[in-house]
Structure 1
Amino acid sequence: MASSCTQLCLQCRNLLPSKTVASTWQYYTQVRNCSRVTRVPTRIQDESSVIKGNHITNQARQMWNQQIFCYSDLAAKHLATETEKNKGVEETSRADVVVYKTPLLPPDTVPESQVSLDLDAAAEFSALEVISDEEAVGISVPSAMPPASISLRDYVDQSETLSKLVELGVNLWKLEQRPNVGSMLLRLDFNTDVAPRLLFLKEIGVEDSRFGYIITHNPFILTESLEHLQSRVNFLKSKQFSSETVASMVSRAPYLLNFSVKRMDNRLGFFQQELNLSASNTRNILSRLPRLLCGRLEPVKENLKVCEMELGFKENEIQHIVIAVPKVLTANKRKLTQIFDLLHNIMKVPHNLIAKFPQVFNSKYLRVKERHLFLKYLGKAQYDPTLPNYISLDRLVSVPDETFCTESALATLEDFYLFQKTI
């Protein structure tokens, strides 16, 4: 390739002034260096695409054409510079530019529409032009959204929706672990899809600080129609739930508004019939634990059977326990039976006293056991209200360690800590 360019330069040397030829030779040297860097090695793949011998491939021929075209532009640019220096022969120099640029172009390779005689434009976009470090730093390359990624973190800078959700407190690392949620969020537009739902939640009374929690646990609320969301809120209000209660329920049970009106009505009827409660007690339970309307009903049915058949509570006792501690309906069955066994079979607490203080089912089993053993060690484990030195279950499990030691065990906190080490 270099030999071909050399022959072309020798042809031009007879027609150009010596000073012009010397300067043009410097441009040719730059082009030659550029061709060495950008040269693409040809590989013989098969006889159909590459001719054997001294011939070159189609790809190499195209590269040769491009480099010759680049050299001709450089030569033309330099000739224009020489023209400015020799103002006396301006017309002749301009003619030389046209004469010597055209023969250097391969006639069958570049169409005339793509050949530009605007030398200033060619110089502006020259890849060989030297620029300063400040200009290089100022060059902006448009960032494209990654075609595929295992993390939503790679899309935050390019997606307005994701960046705004992060500002709201949404945990994207939790959402990206769920199938198809990441692609769904990338397809949403913040102004048309996300903002109207956030405004709706704000209008029904949900605090701004709860937006991140709601979307993190239920991103599909962003795809629900506003008409459906409003109809479900209206249904809850028609069942005598106050506006403040509805806002609190939505904040603590993000999936609540994804359920249809018919399904919510069936859930309300189930709890009222299974527990044989009044409408007001049913609202009281569901407003305090709204996830009962969203979760599965099988664990609830199982826990009710455990309380009745395995633990031996009566219907009115179960009602009292559920009204006082709704979490009993969704608590772990093993924990319920373990705490009941400690209270009833070891501590000898009857059913009616357990039903009177159902908060004990919310306590940790180890905490109840340690305090009972400490009282037994001191000879003060007395849980019968008809006898002196009675210790209620409420004070046994609900007060801090220091209060328990000073008021119930009549001992120091250090004594209790030393006893815990012996268990």
Structure 2
Amino acid sequence: MASSCTQLCLQCRRLICSKTAASTWQHITQVRHCTTVTRVPTKFLSGASVIRGNDTATQARQCWKQQIFCYSDLTAKHLETEAMGDKDIEELSKANVVPYKSPLLPVIESQMSLDLDAAGENSALEEISDEEAVCISIPAAMPPESTSLRDYVDQSDTLSKLVQLGVNLWKIEQRPNVGSMLLRLDFDTDVAPRLLFLKEIGVEDSRFGYIITHNPFILTENLENLQARVSFLKSRNFSPESIASMVSRAPYLLNFSVKRLDNRLGFYQEKLNLSASNTRNIVTRLPRLLCGSLEPVKENLKVCEIELGFKENEIQQIVVAVPKVLNANKKKLTQIFDFVHNTMKVPHHLIAKFPQVLNAKFLRIKERHFFLTYLGKAQYDPTLPNYISLDRLVSLPDETFCTQLASATLEDFHLFLKTL
């Protein structure tokens, strides 16, 4: 019923306003033109231009006021005509008096249509209770920039899941451009396939956080390249368990090409004159040898040969037993050798036989040797009685060292250390 009444009203209004629509559009156009003129900025470059700019603005205001007055007058006359009854209009027609018809804009039917369903909806200005206001959730906006990744964890699904895996974001954000790289990654399409690959090759779930923390770039590596590098290691007779252990302890291992991995293996095998089995052995125990620079390795080999005076077979024996000697600190290496060889009087062949002493703490060696010297038991020659091997000297805990090698108590050893 409401819709029928609305349609009738619209028809009557179209009859009243259709003949004057053209003139109305003309008035509206003039009004818009005046508005446009008033909004045009004027560049004031001189005094004359200031006067012209003020004249233009004044003319525009006057034109605008005239159109507003005209528009208001037309509206008032239109309302008076609408207030006249049908009988009044017929009497005016008989008297050859045409009632005034307002040149107002024609009303569009679609704008006057009633939407009864929308009337029942809540208004945006309607008051709500405190309980309803508390239930309204407002999503937090992601900051456009930040110096810390923690500001993005709540909004980024990738970062939140990486944190759950044990990734240390505070370490990653210290590296340039890595944080923005992680924010661009999608967990399902970028991260999850790499994690599944690591799991397939035998890496434990608990190592995912360590690997990504130290090598976040593995998340951008091509899966085919990763698989090719694992296949290469298998072709060199590395067991699946060894590969998983190497990747877990050297996260950058799979970022290097097959050619580089092959060159590294060939270098150690040729430089140290090792067999393929011994080469796999030292690389499996210290996979960083395949990832790090070769310069420290070359320098340590020269130090062992030239400065320390070891023979080639002795160097080979030391490296196979303790691969860490290859990338050990040069100063520490020479300090320990100097003390063991010159102070403790241990010859080269015994040091090569027990190379663990080169990887021990210098202070431990020094304290224990001085304690044994104080007791008169510092005897490192295997051909003499009361022989003490270098291996036991540096590997035993303090209490066992005191009871088995020094034949003293732990308290005596601590009292002696206070005298040093």
Letter in 2 for 1:419: F
How big is the shift at 1:124?
Answer: 3.1
How big is the shift at 1:142?
Answer: 2.3
How big is the shift at 1:123?
Answer: 8.4
Matched positions, count: 321
Label 1:350 to 1:229 Cα distance change in 2 as closer, same or farther (>3 A). same
> Does 1:185 find its partner at 2:182?
yes
Distance in 2, Cα, partners of 1:320 & 1:247: 27
- 1:6-405 aligned within 5 A: 124-127=122-125, 129-405=126-402
Letter in 1 for 2:123: F
Offset from partner CA, 1:205-232 (integer Å, 9 cap, x none):
1111111111111111111111101110
Distance in 2, Cα, partners of 1:225 & 1:126: 51
Distance in 2, Cα, partners of 1:225 & 1:176: 23
Offset from partner CA, 1:388-414 (integer Å, 9 cap, x none):
111111111110111111111111110
Distance in 2, Cα, partners of 1:325 & 1:154: 45
Gaps of 5+ in 1: 1-45, 56-106
Offset from partner CA, 1:250-289 (integer Å, 9 cap, x none):
1111111110000111001100111011111101100110
Alignment partner, residue 26 of structure 2: none
Label 1:148 to 1:122 Cα distance change in 2 as closer, same or farther (>3 A). farther
Label 1:410 to 1:113 Cα distance change in 2 as closer, same or farther (>3 A). farther
Distance in 1, Cα, partners of 2:353 & 2:164: 47
Distance in 2, Cα, partners of 1:138 & 1:251: 46
How big is the shift at 1:122?
Answer: 10
Alignment partner, residue 92 of structure 2: none
Distance in 2, Cα, partners of 1:408 & 1:201: 47
Label 1:143 to 1:117 Cα distance change in 2 as closer, same or farther (>3 A). farther
Larger relative contact order (CA 8 Å, sep ≥ 6)? 2
Letter in 1 for 2:147: I
Q: Comparing 170-179 with 116-125, which one deviates more in the overlay?
A: 116-125
Letter in 2 for 1:313: F
Label 1:145 to 1:115 Cα distance change in 2 as closer, same or farther (>3 A). farther
How big is the shift at 1:130?
Answer: 3.1
Distance in 2, Cα, partners of 1:357 & 1:320: 10
How big is the shift at 1:116?
Answer: 9.7
Q: Comparing 112-121 with 328-337, which one deviates more in the overlay?
A: 112-121
> Does 1:414 find its partner at 2:411?
yes
Offset from partner CA, 1:137-172 (integer Å, 9 cap, x none):
112212221111111111111111111111111111
SS in 2 for 1:149: coil
Letter in 2 for 1:330: N
Letter in 2 for 1:238: S
TM-score w.r.t. the length of structure 1 is 0.72
RMSD of equivalent CA atoms: 2.5
Distance in 2, Cα, partners of 1:126 & 1:327: 71
List 4+ stretches of structure 1 deviating above 2 A.
46-51, 111-127
SS in 1 for 2:147: coil
Distance in 2, Cα, partners of 1:117 & 1:328: 88
SS in 2 for 1:124: coil
- Percent of aligned positions that are identical: 80
Gaps of 5+ in 2: 1-40, 45-52, 59-103
Label 1:122 to 1:151 Cα distance change in 2 as closer, same or farther (>3 A). farther
Letter in 2 for 1:187: R
Distance in 2, Cα, partners of 1:384 & 1:116: 110
Distance in 2, Cα, partners of 1:150 & 1:345: 53
Letter in 1 for 2:240: S
Label 1:173 to 1:247 Cα distance change in 2 as closer, same or farther (>3 A). same
SS in 1 for 2:345: coil
How big is the shift at 1:114?
Answer: 8.6
SS in 1 for 2:244: helix
Distance in 2, Cα, partners of 1:213 & 1:233: 19
Letter in 1 for 2:334: T
Distance in 1, Cα, partners of 2:271 & 2:287: 17
How big is the shift at 1:347?
Answer: 0.6
